[in-house]
Structure 1
Amino acid sequence: MAIDTVRRVWALDAPRLTVDCGILMLGTGGENDTIPSPAFLIEHDEGLMLFDTSLAGAGDPAAAYGDMAAAFQIEFPESYRLDRQIEALGYKTTDVRRIVLSHMHFDHTGGLDLFPHAQGFIGAGELRYARTPRTLDAPFFRAEDIEAAGRISWNEVPAGYDHDMFGDGSVVLLSLPGHTPGTLGLKLRLPDESTLVLTSDAAHKRASVDLTIGMPFDVDSLHKHSALQKLKLLGTQPGTTVWISHDPEDWESLRTGGAEITSAAELAAAG
């Protein structure tokens, strides 16, 4: 099978949240970490797609999240609005034909209402769990986002199955359950034929992958450990960069050239 590449990839400007490190990784805590909440825009011959949709409430996070905006110290400038960033690149939100949602936590679903027209891809059981979560992690799901998700036509990716979206090897949806029942990552073949793996919340910190240690709110620690092992193995493949989406150090080092990402090989060398 021929291996093709995506045309372009952007790590869009991301709002930030501040959390205790102990939320991000077991065995840590006592210090705060300010983390990005990203969305990635990908251009393929078959059209535009988004991986995650970040937060809602640009310019006024409290309007979307109430007291949680202050609790997480959400920083979300109006200029970071997802629709405005897409338009600044010369596209419209209606040009986004596909949405890949890593999972249904509120910091990944805030822009779903912009894309009712898109074809959706989500991990099996994820939307069902978002509607009836455990008490422990129920605050991480936002009713308005679940309602917006209900207006999208979803294709479910079975647990344990990595889906080659276009059949050309350029965009592969990675099954990484454990953080939530249907957590997905994304593997992209960039124009220089290097590989970029976006972890979403299958990992929150670089050390999570290195040490295969999860977080307190993972719904399934056994599957989460396997997901971290999978990411660690992917990182050993030549020409592959694993991007821990919430890790602020990854965010700073892998975006040094700006929002557009052209080469995973260059990212790895810079890191």
Structure 2
Amino acid sequence: MAEDLRLYFMECGSLKTQVQFIKMNQGLGDPYEIPVPFFLITHPRGNVLFDGGNAREVSGDVDAHDYWGAVADAYQPVMRPDEFVVDQLQALDVDPASVKYVVQSHLHLDHSGAIGHFPNARYVVQRRELQYAFTPDWFQKPAYIRPDFDKDVSWVFLDGPNDDGYDLFSDGTMKTMFTPGHAPGHTSLLVDLPESGPMMLTADACYTMDHYENKALPGLVHSAADVAYSTEKVRRTVEGQGATLVTGHDPDAWPKFKKAPDYYA
């Protein structure tokens, strides 16, 4: 295990939304504000990002509709320009050129902000997710902002169950987990830290603890059956390895974690 491994919890502001857009058929019309996390993992062989939050284009005093379109009616970003992923890494004295991998949980608008902004990075994504992002079903289409991912970058494609447990550095420190449901090519990441132990970064495989505890389906879902399968898969890993569960957008759980510049080692 890499002794210099560090995991930084970061966020690029929040999304103002309503409960039913996060928890299907619940709290209709009730306001709900959720964090938009991303993660930096430092490794002796190169830095890694897990997701990148929102695009710079929706930060600051702008109308998010200009970049996101009508979906901004349901999800309103609250994000300062200096909360963009590149600016936050530079504030930690992390050179964007030092990022070796950007692991994309999926390609929805609040996760794809890093793509194309790290010149030496390879972008890890499920092949099915990128293919679907170009031609999504009508009910998922608003969540995919094509200018975010339609870029000439170096992709590393994962192929679903065949690549389950893909070991990023072949040392056991970071392994992907295929967790479809919310999106057809969703990926979670298990990070095994020397002191803190394994941490299960679920992204949107488990939006909140309600999703993890089978009390709610995601407000946006590609396959409810796959959501149930992936949640159980995450649960087996968390319980079997004694991992710390890190949900994707839980406004109650997120404040309990240390945030950058503090880190988990």
C-alpha separation in 1, matches of 2:221 and 2:189: 19
CA RMSD for the aligned pairs? 2.0
Q: How many residues align?
A: 258
- Alignment identity in percent? 26
What's the CA shift string for 1:111-139, capped at 9, x where partnerless?
A: 31312531111113001000000111100
C-alpha separation in 2, matches of 1:47 and 1:188: 15
Unaligned runs of 5+ in 2: none
Partner residue, 1:181: 184
Partner residue, 2:228: 225
- SS of 1:235's equivalent in the other structure is helix
Which amino acid in structure 2 is aligned with residue 260 of structure 1? D
Range moving further from structure 2, 54-63 or 170-179: 54-63
- SS of 2:155's equivalent in the other structure is strand
TM-score by length of 2: 0.89
C-alpha separation in 1, matches of 2:123 and 2:70: 30
2:145 is the counterpart of 1:142: yes
Contact 1:25 1:213 in 2 (8 A): yes
Superposed, which structure 2 residues align to 1:23-34 within 5 Å?
Answer: 23-30=21-28, 31-34=30-33
- SS of 1:29's equivalent in the other structure is coil
Which amino acid in structure 2 is aligned with residue 26 of structure 1? M
Superposed, which structure 2 residues align to 1:1-271 within 5 Å?
Answer: 3-4=1-2, 7-30=5-28, 31-56=30-55, 57=57, 58-62=59-63, 64-65=67-68, 68-69=71-72, 71-148=74-151, 151-160=152-161, 161-192=164-195, 194-211=197-214, 213-237=216-240, 239-255=242-258, 258-262=260-264
Alignment CA distance shift 1:100-1:76 (3 Å): same
Q: CA deviation at 1:231?
A: 1.4
Range moving further from structure 2, 201-210 or 68-77: 68-77
C-alpha separation in 1, matches of 2:193 and 2:86: 24
C-alpha separation in 2, matches of 1:194 and 1:212: 27
Alignment CA distance shift 1:6-1:37 (3 Å): farther
- SS of 1:14's equivalent in the other structure is strand
What's the CA shift string for 1:150-208, capped at 9, x where partnerless?
A: x1221222222121111111101111011111100010011305111111111111011
Contact 2:179 2:185 in 1 (8 A): yes
Which amino acid in structure 2 is aligned with residue 159 of structure 1? G
TM-score by length of 1: 0.88
Contact 2:129 2:183 in 1 (8 A): yes
Range moving further from structure 2, 78-87 or 214-223: 214-223
Range moving further from structure 2, 95-104 or 246-255: 246-255
C-alpha separation in 2, matches of 1:159 and 1:222: 16
Unaligned runs of 5+ in 1: 264-271
Range moving further from structure 2, 91-100 or 20-29: 20-29
C-alpha separation in 2, matches of 1:201 and 1:93: 25
C-alpha separation in 2, matches of 1:172 and 1:212: 27
